[in-house]
Amino acid sequence: MTAPESETAPEVRLDVDGDVAVVTIDRPRALNALSGDVLEALDAAFVQITDAAASVRGVLLVGEGGRAFVAGADISAMQGRGPEEGERMARLGHRVAERIEACPAPVIACVDGFALGGGLELALACDLIYATDASAFGQPEVRLGLIPGFGGTVRLPRVVGPARARELIYTGRRIDTEEAVRAGLVARRFPDRDALLAGARETIALIAQNSPVAVADAKHVLVAAAGRPTGEAVELEIDGFMHSFGTDDMREGVTAFLEKRTPGFSRG
Ligand SMILES: CCCCCCCCCCCCC[C@H](O)CC(=O)SCCNC(=O)CCNC(=O)[C@H](O)C(C)(C)COP(=O)(O)OP(=O)(O)OC[C@H]1O[C@@H](n2cnc3c(N)ncnc32)[C@H](O)[C@@H]1OP(=O)(O)O
C-alpha cells in the first residue's frame, strides 16, 4: 500500500510488511519539513492503516535522509500567510495527530536526527519515541515569533512535566537524546538507525504476541484519559476494562493460561 502520491515523487510512503506498517516521510532536502501536502498524505496513510487494523500490529514513523526525523512545519510556506491559513494548517496538523492517536496499533516515532517544532509534536502524538544517539529535540517556535501549533503545549507537559516543558518552549533550546531519555521523552535510545529500526520491530513483535483487541482497548483508554481528572480517567478505564472482559480474546487468554498453552488470539 502506498499513500496517495503528491505531484512529484511521493513525499510520504506507506509500506506494510507483515505485522508492521512503515510510514516514511521522504523530503530530505527540507529535512522532512511538514508541508500541507505531507500532512495530507500522513493523514491518508493513517486512515489506511486504521482501516486495515486487523493486519497491522504496530507502526513505525520514520524520516528519510539521515539528518532529520522532521525539522518542523515548512517555514518556507509560512511567508505571506495570515492567521486564517495558519489556523487551517494548525488544524490539519492536529487532525494528523488525532489520526495517529486513533490508530488501534501502537505507533513508534523512530527519530534519527532532528525532531523540532512540528516534528517533535508529530512524535509526541505517537505512542513511543525511540531515537538514535545522534538526535536532537526541541520546540524552537518562539525563535520564529510563533508558539507550538501542533499540540506541543498540550502533549509535551504530559511527557516531560510542566516545568521542563515551559523551559523548552520558552527557550526554544534543543536537547540531545541523553537528556531526552532522562526527561522521559525518549523511551529507548540506539547507537544508529539500523539498531533503532530493529529495536522498534522487536517491540512490535512483542506486542503482536498479545491480544490485538486488548492492545487497542488499552491505547484507546490511555489516549482518552490523558490529561483528564482522575475520576474521569478511572471511569474511562472501567469502561475499557468492561469491554475487554467480555471479548473472545479474554476468554481465550484465560483459558489458555489455565490449560498452560499459548493463546491463539483474534486478528483484531
Ligand atoms: C504546515 C506548513 C504550511 C505552512 C502554512 C502556514 C503555517 C501554519 C503552521 C501550522 C502550525 C505549525 C506548528 C509547529 O509547531 C510550527 C513549527 O514547526 S515552526 C518550525 C520549527 N522548526 C525549526 O525552527 C527548525 C528550523 N531548521 C533549523 O533550525 C535548521 O535547519 C536545523 C534543523 C538546525 C539544521 O541546520 P543545518 O544543519 O544548518 O541545515 P539547514 O538549516 O541548512 O537546513 C537544510 C535545508 O533544510 C531546510 N529546512 C530546515 N528546516 C526547515 C523547516 N522547518 N522548514 C522548511 N525548510 C527547512 C533549510 O532551509 C535548508 O534548505 P536549503 O537552504 O538547503 O534549500
- pLDDT given for residue 4 in this prediction: 47
- pLDDT given for residue 20 in this prediction: 96
Burial 87-107 (b: 16+ CB within 10 A, else e): eebbebbbbbbebbbebbbbb
Q: What is the DSSP letter of 25?
A: E
The minimum-distance atom of ligand 1 relative to the CA of 150 is 13
Average pLDDT over residues 60-77: 97
Lookup: cell for 40? 495530507
How many percent of the chain have pLDDT more than 70? 96
Sign of the dihedral through C-alpha 27, 32, 33, 36: positive
Among 31, 43, 156, say which to mutate for ligand 1: greatest number of ligand atoms within 8 Å of CB: 31
| Distance from residue 5's CA to the centre of ligand 1 (Å) | 22
User: Is residue 53 predicted with pLDDT exceeding 80?
Assistant: no
User: Is residue 139 predicted with pLDDT exceeding 70?
Assistant: yes
Give pLDDT tens digits for 160-205: 999 999 999 999 999 999 999 999 999 999 999 999 999 999 999 9
Query: Quick check: 204 and 108 in contact, CB under 8 A?
Result: yes
| 237 in active site | no
Average pLDDT over residues 80-97: 96
Average pLDDT over residues 125-152: 98
Burial 8-43 (b: 16+ CB within 10 A, else e): eebbbbbebeebbbbbbbebeebbbbbbbbbbbbbb
| Distance from residue 75's CA to the centre of ligand 1 (Å) | 5
